[in-house]
Structure 1
Amino acid sequence: MPEPVGAHQRIVLDVLWVLLLRGGRWPTFQELDLHLYRALDLDAAQLLVKVPPGLLYGVNTGSAMPIAGTTTIGLTAAGAYATGRAQRELDLFLAVVRQAAAMERDFDPPADRPDLQADLVSADVAMLLGLSLPEDSALLKRLSAILYTERWGWTSFGGLGTDTWKIRIGREVRRFQQVRDIATYWELRPKHWLPDKPVPVAMRSPAATRRQGAVVQAARDSIAKQSLRHVDVLVVAATPEEFDAARKTASAADPSCRGVVRWEQRDSDGPSPYLLGEYRIDGKPPFTVALARPTQMGARSTGPVVARLVERLRPASLAMCGVCAGNPASTALGDVVIGTPVFEWDEGKHSAAGFEGAYQQFSLSPRWRRTGEDFNPVNLPSYGKPSEPEAFLWLLEQLYRGQQTRDHPARAQYFPNGTWLPGLERLEEQDLIGREPTGEAVLTRDGSAYVQRRLYDDVDGPQRLPFRVLVGPMASGSAVMADPDVWNWLKAMGMRKIAAVDMEAATIATIADQQELSWLVVKGVTDHADAQKDDRYKQFAARASAQVMFALLERLVHAPVVAAGDPTVEPVIYVPNEPIVDPTTVRPTGKPVPAEQQNAVRSAKRYLQTAAFSRKGLIEQLSSDAGDGYSSEAATLAVDSLDIDYDEQAAKSAQNYLRMSGFSRKGLIEQLEYEGFTHSQAVHGVDEAGL
């Protein structure tokens, strides 16, 4: 393999790979030069010729000849390998090369065309590799880019930069028939470069300049199309019932209503099938949602499915809805719990002395948590205030279950102020309850018979309940809990306030944390982890949790952008115990939020998924000609509308640089400042990186 690269040369390789991810093709020299100059204040012409031979396509290493602006600059297989980001593409590349070698060996040209060579087309490659279109079109573009820069035996190449390409295979491919890894491939490949011939810049004609402008515009268009192939939210449900509840909740009743008008089944024959739809909301940009489930509930089945879909769909957020067991001290059947923090309760060490927990907790971001805390479910279809008979039945049912109702967490939902004592007196008059000397209510024989009869008749379960939405800790384990002592056990282990237990929440949060995604776990309480499990509440809990989850996603995904201090914007006033229509939006009384501004927000979120940015760097990326080309005003308002922790961004950037090469503390601080971080942000980033 080629010799190692220095820090600045490594930056060139990484930038080339990022530009390929964004545009689906290798950039021209002018595009690369402009990006390096504006983003990092680096000179591409000086850096490229210093990169070790064998890593770049389109550059005569060591040559003093200027590189023409229209020359394509790309990475070879070794260059892609050096970025550390292209493992999947390189694995697919080797598979294609082996397939090409087999095709060349077995191809028999027609008698009248003995010079004809075998052709390999992208559709056949997709079938060979188990890829599907259009979901994997971006991956096919990246694969074609690496195939193009490598001289493994093709004699012609058509369709570069698209997902419909065609390769004509020559005899030189034979040497790679048994190649299994990049190192072996590199030993076998020809050690010569055939770059585009440099043309002196002075010889460029006005027509060439116009063509260059067209190339830049095409790159912008490609980036825009690429961004549409990302998914805004990946929603996971653990069981078929929970999956159906999520699908029905998100589906629009008709094209004029909010929600998904049409679901598309994707990858139905693959290991992780999913539904894909566009969720529309009046007055807001739509967001794309993918909906999937494992074949079995639990972390062991959920984790691989989510990991595969995150890699394929690259969502901005992960979300999960479904059912859980709620702590009877704080939840009622039908309540909905938003988990934060979430953790695996059975992580730790078992010894003769007992179990010693070692919990890794994951918490929602402050904005997402606040939105959950402020959410009032009264406008949701599953919410309903109880009638007097329904309130009486609830009280009798709790007594039948052995629960005292006076201090029950849901009592106020069924018996508002001033109705508790009159309700007890009515039930006592009907001989359904009796009263102990202490005042405690107990079921009479008639009351018990009445409850049993009502429970027997109720096969459908509740349709509407006065449920609450709670934000609290959620513990995940590998087994379904049916032991009421679990709450005391968890408390004894140091978890003083546990709202719910489930089987998958910690897995969702762990994957989201590893991929730096936003996440949300919303579960409905279907039982209290005791022996009195009542499946009557399961459908309601699944349905209510899905309604809460999508209502929160409407507020949290694509929050509208408004200029700070805009006098035409009214503040949102929160009144406790009153419904909140949308706690993360504002009501414009004058001009609407421009569409360009909203699109810039989406682009900014995409960039933040793949790289770390300073405020200055992200604004420049959005507004530069080599970036997205938004107006400076739209880019600035978009960036400032997002809840970005630039200390955290600086830390990520510092860690990325240290993975690339060695830096002194002073040198890394200066490098971060070059990226646009303030001095204090740069110092924080270097401190967090441990330098």
Structure 2
Amino acid sequence: MRIIVLEDSDDKFERVARVIEEEGLRHEDIVRAKNVAAARALMSDEQFALLVLDVQVPMRDGESENSDGGVYLLKEILLDDACKRPSYVVGLTGVPEVYGNQSALFQRQGWALLEYSASSNQWSQSLRDFLRHIRRVAPDVTPLETADVVLLTALADPEFTALRRVFPELSGPHPIDGRTLSWRGDVQFNGRTLRVVAGYSWQMGLTAAGILAERFIARFRPKILAMSGICAGRRDKVGLGDVIVGTQSWEWQGGKIAESDGAAELLHAPEPCRAAADLVLSTRNLIAKPAWRAQLDEKYMQSSGTAWNVHLGPMLSGLSVVANGDVMNSIVRQHRNVLGLEMEAYAIYAAATFASTDCKALVVKGVCDFGDAGKDDSVQQVAAVRSAMVLRAILEEHTASFG
């Protein structure tokens, strides 16, 4: 259970924190804000179980106490969704007049206002009772953490290894449940710091990718969900080591199996999900810049011996790895502009499309083979790194253009 305490007095904060810790909560789960602006910023990023606030606190750092500072924050919580409303609120004031004037506001919302006194333990006992009630009602409350960007891969190696090489700010692992690990960090994009969380699936495939994406969306509510990794490319459209940005995806094995001349025939019924339009536009802006490829190769110390390109187009997802040229040829007939095949993109786009919160998605993958028998695993590492390189460059371009 995470608790935020809005209190500018060091002595008063220590007394409040001591009560909380004596009730069995960890010191690291107590977050302090010394003014309204700081509390607002913290509550914009994290959902707290309990807000304990002094009514008389400064509005901003360096200012003197405002007699209604805490009340201002409470009204903002009620009216503005930018602050995540805590489950419970307890107010403190050592001024009898303030206690009398503001009690009605707290009572209307079902909140508690305690009259603080350094010479009395009545307020601390009331706070203890309140904490015990919260823990009985919700003993396993999991704090809501937020992220600006969630990055996923299907494979630990070479895909997630490559992603961490391109995003060295990520540290971990941090468990988010009994089966899922995450890596987290603050990443600079064109002077703006974004909270990035990353993870990889326990196996390849649409089902695993969909479950993983849903878990990360539900836990972190990202504005952007992205995936990097490797894929099979269409031989007549792309080259080995090229990068494909999937503008749309569907399950190529979906549809109806019918009988035609005594043989089974798959009647396709594509239901595509699409990449976010502004992320696709950011990709186009990136590759329109002169020398973008050379700059990325130099930044990530990649060999520039062979030219490579970024392509935008449909990337289809299936339930199995394709290593047969005839199957590959039959698949690409579903759409004349199909560029690649893999096993997760459709799940990523569907998870973002049907998420309960606004979430944009983009899948970027490097071409490591052509979906036939001539697979060369040595290309996988290069393709994985390039996909992560391009993904980071797209996010930087998007931040510069759209904030």
Which TM class, normalised by the smaller chain length? 0.5 to 0.7
CA contact (8 A) 1:302 1:507 kept: yes
Relative to 1, partners in 2 of residues 1:521 and 1:167: Cα closer, same or farther, differing over 3 Å? same
Amino acid at match of 2:284: E
Match of 1:485 among 322, 326, 335: 326
Q: Which moved more, 1:525-534 or 1:307-316?
A: 307-316
Relative to 1, partners in 2 of residues 1:168 and 1:503: Cα closer, same or farther, differing over 3 Å? closer
Relative to 1, partners in 2 of residues 1:478 and 1:383: Cα closer, same or farther, differing over 3 Å? farther
Alignment of 1:255-404 (within 5 A): 260=169, 263-267=171-175, 270-281=178-189, 284-353=191-260, 354-376=265-287, 377-381=293-297
How much has 1:492 moved relative to structure 2?
3.6
DSSP 3-state at the match of 2:166? helix
What is the distance in 2 between the residues matched to 1:464 and 1:73? 66
CA contact (8 A) 1:473 1:500 kept: yes
CA contact (8 A) 1:156 1:168 kept: no
What is the distance in 1 between the residues matched to 2:370 and 2:134? 65
How much has 1:358 moved relative to structure 2?
2.0
Relative to 1, partners in 2 of residues 1:383 and 1:264: Cα closer, same or farther, differing over 3 Å? closer
Alignment of 1:234-253 (within 5 A): 234-240=150-156, 241-251=158-168
CA deviation profile, 1:254-273 (whole Å, cap 9, x unmatched): xxxxxx1x613211873111
DSSP 3-state at the match of 2:106? coil
What is the distance in 1 between the residues matched to 2:80 and 2:200? 44
Relative to 1, partners in 2 of residues 1:35 and 1:306: Cα closer, same or farther, differing over 3 Å? closer
Q: Which moved more, 1:527-536 or 1:345-354?
A: 345-354
CA contact (8 A) 2:276 2:362 kept: no
Q: Tell me what 1:503 maps to.
A: 343
What is the distance in 2 between the residues matched to 1:475 and 1:72? 54
Relative to 1, partners in 2 of residues 1:497 and 1:487: Cα closer, same or farther, differing over 3 Å? farther
Relative to 1, partners in 2 of residues 1:501 and 1:304: Cα closer, same or farther, differing over 3 Å? same
Q: Tell me what 1:70 maps to.
A: 106
How much has 1:501 moved relative to structure 2?
0.5
Match of 2:306 among 441, 444, 465: 465
Q: Could you tell me which runs of 5 or more consecutive residues in structure 2 were left unpaired when the two chains were aligned.
A: 1-42, 54-69, 82-88, 90-101, 112-124, 138-142, 288-292
Match of 1:547 among 389, 392, 398: 389
How much has 1:462 moved relative to structure 2?
7.2
DSSP 3-state at the match of 1:530? coil
Q: Tell me what 1:158 maps to.
A: 128
What is the distance in 1 between the residues matched to 2:304 and 2:211? 34
TM-score, normalised on structure 2?
0.64
CA deviation profile, 1:125-157 (whole Å, cap 9, x unmatched): xxxxxxxxxxxxxxxxxxxxxxxxxxxxxx965
Alignment of 1:117-128 (within 5 A): none
DSSP 3-state at the match of 2:250? strand
CA deviation profile, 1:483-520 (whole Å, cap 9, x unmatched): 21234313443x12100001000111111111231111
Q: Could you tell me which runs of 5 or more consecutive residues in structure 1 were left unpaired when the two chains were aligned.
A: 1-17, 40-56, 58-65, 76-154, 177-225, 252-259, 385-460, 560-583, 585-640, 643-691
CA contact (8 A) 2:206 2:319 kept: yes
Structure with a larger share of its residues in helix:
1
Aligned residues, how many? 296
What is the distance in 1 between the residues matched to 2:76 and 2:164? 45
Give the CA RMSD over aligned residues.
3.9
How much has 1:245 moved relative to structure 2?
0.5
What is the distance in 1 between the residues matched to 2:80 and 2:207? 46
CA deviation profile, 1:575-600 (whole Å, cap 9, x unmatched): xxxxxxxxx3xxxxxxxxxxxxxxxx
DSSP 3-state at the match of 1:349? strand
CA contact (8 A) 1:382 1:465 kept: no
Relative to 1, partners in 2 of residues 1:512 and 1:34: Cα closer, same or farther, differing over 3 Å? closer
What is the distance in 2 between the residues matched to 1:496 and 1:302? 26
Q: Which structure has the larger Rg over C-alpha atoms? A: 1
Match of 2:149 among 233, 238, 242: 233
TM-score, normalised on structure 1?
0.38
What is the distance in 1 between the residues matched to 2:129 and 2:253? 53
Structure with a larger share of its residues in strand:
2
CA contact (8 A) 1:272 1:309 kept: no
